[in-house]
Chains A and B, each alone.
Chain A
């Protein structure tokens, strides 16, 4: 998790050198204004405010979602977990469970919300299982929109879903029809990061084949997953290389575990089998470290894309829709006016007619 601080520390180097002008590197020289200190102030403020991040995990039961989340953040988000039996699952619909945890590391506070979706893909007929999830995402956007348009905008709580880990089963030959349908339904609302779960079931060749297959199918169906941004040209080579490696490993094939096993005298997290030990944090065994690196280095980017792309899309759709509603009301009023005028004219005619009749009678 120390990479978060590394980013900020790069900017810390800046105040020592002036960026505003060619003349002089020292604060006392003329031409130095001092706004190079701005990043520092931002940094201090954000550290005090803390960061918020909402992560949604979607996948069939038994793919190791909870174990992976616990391994990623080194916490236990589900202390009293109850796994229902098959008979109960028949009646269940998809539920949304959000658990929030505050993690602090080196003075930086992170308020992490993990949204779990138990019941996804369990039922025999999974036609409706993503309706609930889409509704939840839309509700969060709706609430943010409402807060943003409100009077008091000081303490807007950002509960929008910033990232969705979609767990793909390693037992199939690629994406299942359910996977494709779900991703097509939410790729315009949330950043999708596909993850291959329980990767210790695959040999190296199988894993590569599966990754290629999944990428092909994603391209074939036009699913827009989250694209890692290319490293800026002024970053150092190491960072560029890291980004390249990360981009090449999507989807990540991960293994999760919170059990400590002793291997060659060291205690590491892993899974103990009769034929060997799978180490969670060994990059040769699986992509867990890459997933964690991606998440922490790009947390900010994920939030930005959610704000700039998905939220803006939602907002424009929403406002367009409510605009159309207003027009329809106006049209209705016009119609009512016309109707009333027509009635008046008819009544005028009737009165004129009656007056004429009375006149005739009077004449007689």
Chain B
């Protein structure tokens, strides 16, 4: 990628909300065409089924699947109305508006979080690149650092925010180290809520809610640590968590499979629902795809921002005395699957779940709490828990103290 500008960053200790500053523009690298197409398709939601009548040339480009059985081309047909042209309109609008994505990375220091972010977006998007500091000191308390970038690829603009959490899990006493992070996430929901219930609100509310939280598990090869379990249990209720095994080049293939098996069992035993959550599968097709993904989480990833020549090709990797580890080679590590999940196939789905489920839960709880609050606009009478989220909170399982902890955090804020 060629860098045309600098990324600016802001940081805050566990306390006041983070101000996100926009950074410079960057140009995208040539990716497969499928990326843009898929991303856009998800952006349309699932209610519009692409029909295949009267294909214009531009519309034809957006059909990644062959026409389903039973449909015939209706070019020039008498009964063609032209509803499918809405696809083109939505596409144009989305291109103009651009997309927003906020990813949070959580894990002990030294697990390769910043490197993985740089590898995912093939450019220097992490805080380490914005602030080159060779001597890494472990901070005394957990800090929340957010860096925002504008990325562009084939005319599609994306505002990407990477939220880093240095200091997590590094102290001797790590009790309650998840509190600052939960507070940050709830603060973002709060900011969005305040904007939403404003009388004079903006046409497009700036979305700083955390869409996805990537949790880095150290590759011990044995099982999850108590800290991992506690953190994931609490946070899987407020944000989409994607667990990954960091620095996976330390595990052989059998060790990797055993480790993943153990992790999956432990997640199940503790009632931790990571992304993609089983209950949010919309139909059989989704369930099929997501089941395949659920069989593979947590992804064992290796990150690198250094290029080497292997067989004449330039690849990202790590060079050691006994071989070169290729980051994008699925025989070596599962980075490609993670990238596909986060960016190419499920990005819109992640944002949808954040907006329609996690945020709604927060909103309902908040509005119920401030029942007679003067901050509410008239006509926004707080409703009881709607059926959708009600069923959802019951099914989420897990011990009740997770919810209690969140309520505690909320009341603490208010």
CB contact under 8 A between A271 and B136, given known A126-B172, A173-B110, A284-B321: no
Establish whether residues A87 and B111, one from each chain, have CB atoms under 8 Å apart when the complex forms.
no
Contacts between chains A and B (CB distance < 8 A), count: 122
- Which of A12-20, A99-107, A274-282, A293-301 is near enough to bind chain B? A274-282
Could you tell me the distance between the alpha carbons of A174 and B174 in the complex, rounded to whole angstroms? Answer: 19
Residues of chain B with a CB closer than 8 A to A171's CB? 108, 110-112, 218-219, 246-247
Establish whether residues A85 and B223, one from each chain, have CB atoms under 8 Å apart when the complex forms.
yes
Asked if A112 CB lies within 8 Å of chain B CBs, one says: no
CB contact under 8 A between A62 and B220, given known A87-B269, A177-B171: yes
Residues of chain B with a CB closer than 8 A to A284's CB? 321
Interface string of A35-78 (1 = CB under 8 A from B): 00000000000000000000000001111000000000000000
Residues of chain B with a CB closer than 8 A to A323's CB? none
What is the distance, in angstroms, from B332's C-beta to the closest C-beta of chain A?
5
Could you tell me the distance between the alpha carbons of A271 and B220 in the complex, rounded to whole angstroms? Answer: 15
Q: Identify whether the interface residues of A are mostly helix, strand, loop, or mixed.
A: loop
State the interface size on chain A (CB cutoff 8 A). 43
Establish whether residues B230 and A173, one from each chain, have CB atoms under 8 Å apart when the complex forms.
no
Establish whether residues B226 and A173, one from each chain, have CB atoms under 8 Å apart when the complex forms.
no
Asked if A125 CB lies within 8 Å of chain B CBs, one says: yes
Asked if B326 CB lies within 8 Å of chain A CBs, one says: yes
Establish whether residues A61 and B220, one from each chain, have CB atoms under 8 Å apart when the complex forms.
yes
Q: Which partner residue on chain B sits nearest A286 by CB separation? A: B321
Asked if B252 CB lies within 8 Å of chain A CBs, one says: yes
Asked if A8 CB lies within 8 Å of chain B CBs, one says: no
Establish whether residues A87 and B138, one from each chain, have CB atoms under 8 Å apart when the complex forms.
no
Establish whether residues B170 and A176, one from each chain, have CB atoms under 8 Å apart when the complex forms.
yes
Asked if B221 CB lies within 8 Å of chain A CBs, one says: yes
Establish whether residues A278 and B322, one from each chain, have CB atoms under 8 Å apart when the complex forms.
yes
Residues of chain A with a CB closer than 8 A to B370's CB? none
Asked if B324 CB lies within 8 Å of chain A CBs, one says: yes
Asked if A86 CB lies within 8 Å of chain B CBs, one says: yes
What is the distance, in angstroms, from B260's C-beta to the closest C-beta of chain A?
14
Q: Which partner residue on chain B sits nearest A257 by CB separation? A: B252
Establish whether residues B225 and A122, one from each chain, have CB atoms under 8 Å apart when the complex forms.
yes
State the interface size on chain B (CB cutoff 8 A). 47
Establish whether residues A86 and B226, one from each chain, have CB atoms under 8 Å apart when the complex forms.
yes
CB contact under 8 A between A87 and B270, given known A172-B109, A173-B136: yes
Residues of chain B with a CB closer than 8 A to A84's CB? 223
CB contact under 8 A between A178 and B172, given known A86-B228, A86-B266: yes
Establish whether residues A274 and B222, one from each chain, have CB atoms under 8 Å apart when the complex forms.
no
Asked if B253 CB lies within 8 Å of chain A CBs, one says: yes
Asked if B323 CB lies within 8 Å of chain A CBs, one says: yes
Could you tell me the distance between the alpha carbons of A60 and B224 in the complex, rounded to whole angstroms? Answer: 12
Could you tell me the distance between the alpha carbons of A273 and B171 in the complex, rounded to whole angstroms? Answer: 33
Q: Which partner residue on chain A sits nearest B136 by CB separation? A: A173
CB contact under 8 A between A203 and B322, given known A181-B172, A274-B331: no
Asked if A357 CB lies within 8 Å of chain B CBs, one says: no
Residues of chain A with a CB closer than 8 A to B222's CB? 61-62, 83
Q: Which partner residue on chain A sits nearest B227 by CB separation? A: A124
Could you tell me the distance between the alpha carbons of A186 and B237 in the complex, rounded to whole angstroms? Answer: 42
Establish whether residues B250 and A124, one from each chain, have CB atoms under 8 Å apart when the complex forms.
no
Could you tell me the distance between the alpha carbons of A276 and B221 in the complex, rounded to whole angstroms? Answer: 19
Interface residue from A60, A172, A275 paired with B323 (Cβ < 8 Å): A275
Residues of B208-255 at the interface with A, using a CB-CB cut-off of 8 Å, are: 218-230, 246-247, 249-250, 252-253
Establish whether residues A279 and B172, one from each chain, have CB atoms under 8 Å apart when the complex forms.
no
Asked if B46 CB lies within 8 Å of chain A CBs, one says: no
Interface residue from A62, A172, A177 paired with B172 (Cβ < 8 Å): A177
Asked if B274 CB lies within 8 Å of chain A CBs, one says: no
Interface residue from B174, B226, B322 paired with A90 (Cβ < 8 Å): B226
Known: A171-B247, A200-B322. 12 other contacts (CB 8 A): A85-B223, A85-B266, A86-B226, A124-B173, A171-B110, A172-B109, A173-B109, A181-B172, A204-B321, A273-B323, A275-B325, A275-B326
A-B pairs with the 7 shortest C-beta distances? A62-B220, A276-B323, A275-B323, A172-B110, A276-B322, A201-B250, A173-B136
Interface residues of B (CB under 8 A from A): 108-112, 136, 138, 170-175, 218-230, 246-247, 249-250, 252-253, 262, 266, 269-270, 318-326, 331-332
20 contacts between A and B (CB under 8 A): A63-B220, A85-B224, A86-B226, A87-B229, A89-B225, A89-B226, A90-B229, A123-B226, A124-B174, A124-B227, A127-B172, A171-B110, A171-B219, A171-B246, A201-B219, A273-B322, A273-B323, A276-B320, A277-B322, A285-B321
